[in-house]
Structure 1
Amino acid sequence: METSWEEILEEVSKQIPPKYFTNFIAPLHFVRWEGNQMVVSAPSQIIKSHVEAKYANFLENAAYQIKGDSFRLVLLTDKEESTSHMKDAIENRFQNSEPELNSEYNFETYIVSDCNRLAFTAAKSICEHPGKYNPLYLFGPVGVGKTHLLHAIGNEIKKKDPWKTIRYVDSISFLNEFIFTVRQNNRDSLESFKMRYQSYNVLLFDDIQFLNGGAEKTQEEFFALFNFLYERKRQIVIASDRPSYELPLHDRLKSRFVHGLQADVKEHDLSLRKELLRSYTIQYNIPISEETLEWLAQNCDGDSRALIGIVNDLVLYKKAYQFFLLSDEKIREIANSRLQTNRKRIGFNPDQVIDLVCEKLNVARKDILGKSRKVDFILPRHLCMLLLHEILGLPKAQIGRIFSAQHTTVIHGITKIKEKFSEDKNLFDLYQSIKHQISFQ
């Protein structure tokens, strides 16, 4: 509380009876000086109304005597003051702090392999001719580099045409911004929101899957914005964790996404994981042999976030114990510690999962683990692979060893069983039932 406010209270206390000062003036809370206004908060509407009617002139006169300037009393309730602070904070966030493009996410730092080559080529193509292939729709699981590509597109276009206005936004931020604007119940605010988004030459929209069916008005607004930008050949890039036909959005919006390019960003393959690890270890000065790099890539069956997590563990260990170099044995030990920690400890081991699938589908264990290509055995085998990977968190390389199969065979098996789910609801329900039984033991 400012000293001048304390002095104002002291001055007012000399002019009104102690009983009224205690009940109506002492509970007031000074908020701020704002131009020629003295903003003060009252704990209730009753006290606010009484002070405005009876004691406003006392406070204003005391402020003049203490500060030497005339101030008008502006009285709020505590609730109004809280709302005012929140409004100012949100307005500042939306209007003055639009997220900037991450300069580290560019095409030069994006490592290309077969699993992301199509998406990378599509991204480069639209930078050469923005608006020609519109929209570009990128889809793939979490952590495979979709956001990196969005920022890379923005950075590349900005480098070629600095005058272009580019906005990266994810669906949750867009949704929050729109809801806040609507709640202002102010036509000018809504128009300002629309004009701001319509002004962009490039819109990079991330995680559109969260713009779900419950956000009707937001979908309508995005639909109108999409059409506005599309008709004026402004480049639109959309990223999601699933193909456009699986989005929980209105059909008329999903239909707009098939006009341009669609590119799948697949899970990291062995080659990409190896190159990512090589890049990270060079960046963080962790010398590592080719053999251990290969071992990490084989066993760290995860996205880029999982890989950087392992490298962070190595960096921390090296710093904590002041090692100049880490031996291959120590690197494997540290990495394996994280791998073991990340695997879900749920009371089931791989053998039990396989036995459960055998029981549910009435097949023999030796047939699931064998090499027979009969459909009756392939489907349970692929189901086991998916459950071992998703529920127990086993790397695909380890699953391959269990089934005496190559890493790529496991990837193929998991992909095929997921495709089957869309065709066979009973199979999907069986998968969910087994998954639930394993997860809650």
Structure 2
Amino acid sequence: MNLETLWKSVLAEIELSVSKPIYRTQFAQTTLVSLQQNIATIGCPNALMRTLVESRYYSLIKNILDQRTKTNNSLLFIVSTKKTTLTLNEAGPLFSQSTDYQTVDTRTTAKRLHIRFESTFETFAVSTSNHMAYAAATAVAKSPGTAYNPLFLYGGVGVGKTHLVHAVANVILTKKPNTKVVYCMGEEFLNEIIEAIQTKSARQFKQKYRKAELFLVDDVQFIAGKQTAQEEFFHTFNAVHREGGQIILTSDRSPNEIAKLEDRLRSRFEQGLIVDISQPDFELRVAISNIKSNEMHITLPEDASKLIAANMSEARSIEGFLKRLSSESLLKSVPITTDMVMSLLKIKPEENDANGHKNNPRISPQELLEKVAKHFELKPSTLKGPKRDRPIARPRQVVMYLCKTELGLTLDDIGGLLGGRDHTTVMHGVNTITHELSVNGSLRAAVEGIKQILWV
């Protein structure tokens, strides 16, 4: 069996173990560069992808490869430009090599419509916290008006809702530049209605919105409780939907949680697909730090992205911090250093370990264990014990997952916390929860609830 055939068989098994968006964005462009003396060299298209795949899926890849080769292998991850066995369209890269694929006319159109042309699917980092939203948005971009209509994305500040909205618009405008796109904030919609009433220009208002082929509304919750706004939005929604136009809405909460939203609107919002986007986990925050620094042409010192990710929980906060970091560097006319990063984060060098985490973090591993145990109404000692019953094993795996994604602990450290379990068991637990979060809504809600408690 040659390397290409072997790797195809490994990828086929991996595809069954992870969600489609994660497979497409994190595995499809990898290659098996060599396999010599039981050392498998795996090529990744860029450094960021290498970090994500190695940190999250080392054990999964190794187990499958060992089964295929019937031997014990070690894995070495490198950045390789070797041509992959899949086409670019099949692979769907996680990180764009260039955003210059759009024409000047398309970019001009996007700018006029207040669509950020740099917000593409290629520059969107995918993780368990957002891959369902990513998959839904790509499906809508491929078949607008037929896939999910409306598509309703909700989540906290800075989780990527607006990025996905703009990415859909960019794909559609690239394929069909003359598409009538209307993008607005919920508050803008409200203000334009007030202005239309005051200036007696209701006809122009209706002409603008009801003829949209792609109707995009950010923060739609702002129209709740406003009778006139909800009345007009209801008729606009119906008009666009009736003509086959695609509707995408975002909010900070689900339709069922928006107070003072009319039942008929809630019903319309719920007739499509509703997807929640969680706050990014540790690895995704590292990826966001690297993506944003590349976009800003900022050169970060080694491990600075881990340092930033360990001390910031939101994507928007990370972006704001990088802007401050860039300004500091420019004002002082000095390159960015680790000391500069730590200074702006207001932490001292001796307070950090090798992974960039504070030795005195916001929460300790033991505290995390206790909070998870409390959530599942168990004793911490039970999670450390030998019992493997599902009511105990699943919460234990949640501890493994959160220690890895939120605290960035090593597999050995996590195993030690949980009664001396080996790193293979821990990695299996992390991978199990990672997969379950993509298909199990109740578990996803439980994990998100625990995460909110952790960082209060």
Shorter chain as normaliser: what TM range? 0.5 to 0.7
1:112 aligns with 2:139: no
2:326 corresponds in structure 1 to 315
* Kept after mapping to 2: 8 A contact 1:206/1:239: yes
1:258 corresponds in structure 2 to 270
Runs of 4+ in 1 over 3 A off after TM superposition: 283-292, 364-367, 369-373, 395-398, 403-408, 415-420
1:335 aligns with 2:345: yes
- Which residues of 2 match residues 7-156 of structure 1 at below 5 A? 99-133=113-147, 134-156=149-171
Offset at 1:217? Answer: 1.5
Cα 1:418–1:284 change in 2 (3 A) is closer
* Kept after mapping to 1: 8 A contact 2:113/2:181: no
1:279 corresponds in structure 2 to 291
* Kept after mapping to 1: 8 A contact 2:289/2:318: yes
Match of 2:252 among 214, 217, 241: 241
1:191 corresponds in structure 2 to 203
Offset at 1:256? Answer: 1.1
* Kept after mapping to 2: 8 A contact 1:300/1:307: no
For residues 174 and 371 of structure 1, the distance between their equivalents in structure 2, rounded to whole angstroms, comes to 58
For residues 146 and 131 of structure 2, the distance between their equivalents in structure 1, rounded to whole angstroms, comes to 20
- Which residues of 2 match residues 257-406 of structure 1 at below 5 A? 257-293=269-305, 295-326=306-337, 328-336=338-346
For residues 100 and 159 of structure 1, the distance between their equivalents in structure 2, rounded to whole angstroms, comes to 15
* Kept after mapping to 2: 8 A contact 1:201/1:235: yes
* Kept after mapping to 2: 8 A contact 1:151/1:168: no
Matched AA of 1:229: V
For residues 381 and 126 of structure 2, the distance between their equivalents in structure 1, rounded to whole angstroms, comes to 40
* Kept after mapping to 2: 8 A contact 1:115/1:267: yes
Matched AA of 1:192: Q
1:165 corresponds in structure 2 to 180
> Rg: which structure is higher?
1
Cα 1:193–1:281 change in 2 (3 A) is closer
Offset at 1:152? Answer: 1.3
Cα 1:418–1:266 change in 2 (3 A) is closer
- Match of 2:179, SS? coil
Cα 1:98–1:219 change in 2 (3 A) is farther
Offset at 1:210? Answer: 1.6
For residues 163 and 142 of structure 1, the distance between their equivalents in structure 2, rounded to whole angstroms, comes to 31
Cα 1:290–1:166 change in 2 (3 A) is same
Offset at 1:292? Answer: 3.4
1:224 aligns with 2:224: no
For residues 320 and 370 of structure 1, the distance between their equivalents in structure 2, rounded to whole angstroms, comes to 55
Greater fraction helix: 1
Offset at 1:280? Answer: 2.4
CA deviations 1:284-333 (Å, max 9, x no partner) are 4443344333x32542332221101221232122222222352x344223
- Match of 1:238, SS? strand
- Match of 1:336, SS? coil
For residues 160 and 314 of structure 2, the distance between their equivalents in structure 1, rounded to whole angstroms, comes to 9
For residues 386 and 233 of structure 2, the distance between their equivalents in structure 1, rounded to whole angstroms, comes to 51
Offset at 1:229? Answer: 0.9
- Gapped runs of 5+ residues in structure 2? 1-110, 352-362, 365-378, 389-405, 419-425
* Kept after mapping to 1: 8 A contact 2:213/2:245: yes
For residues 408 and 248 of structure 2, the distance between their equivalents in structure 1, rounded to whole angstroms, comes to 34
RMSD in angstroms over aligned alpha carbons?
4.8
* Kept after mapping to 2: 8 A contact 1:175/1:218: yes
* Kept after mapping to 1: 8 A contact 2:240/2:246: yes
- Gapped runs of 5+ residues in structure 1? 1-96, 341-348, 351-363, 374-394, 421-427, 429-434
For residues 206 and 298 of structure 2, the distance between their equivalents in structure 1, rounded to whole angstroms, comes to 49
TM-score normalised according to structure 1 size: 0.55
Matched AA of 2:137: A
Offset at 1:189? Answer: 1.4
- Match of 1:122, SS? helix
Offset at 1:372? Answer: 12
* Kept after mapping to 1: 8 A contact 2:216/2:249: yes
* Kept after mapping to 2: 8 A contact 1:301/1:397: no
Cα 1:116–1:192 change in 2 (3 A) is same
- Match of 1:109, SS? coil
* Kept after mapping to 2: 8 A contact 1:112/1:120: yes
Percent identity over paired residues:
30
* Kept after mapping to 1: 8 A contact 2:123/2:291: no
* Kept after mapping to 1: 8 A contact 2:140/2:146: yes
Offset at 1:419? Answer: 5.8
How many residue pairs match? The answer is 311
For residues 266 and 142 of structure 1, the distance between their equivalents in structure 2, rounded to whole angstroms, comes to 10
For residues 386 and 220 of structure 2, the distance between their equivalents in structure 1, rounded to whole angstroms, comes to 42
For residues 264 and 299 of structure 2, the distance between their equivalents in structure 1, rounded to whole angstroms, comes to 53
* Kept after mapping to 2: 8 A contact 1:298/1:397: no
- Match of 2:250, SS? strand
Offset at 1:136? Answer: 0.9
- Match of 1:263, SS? strand
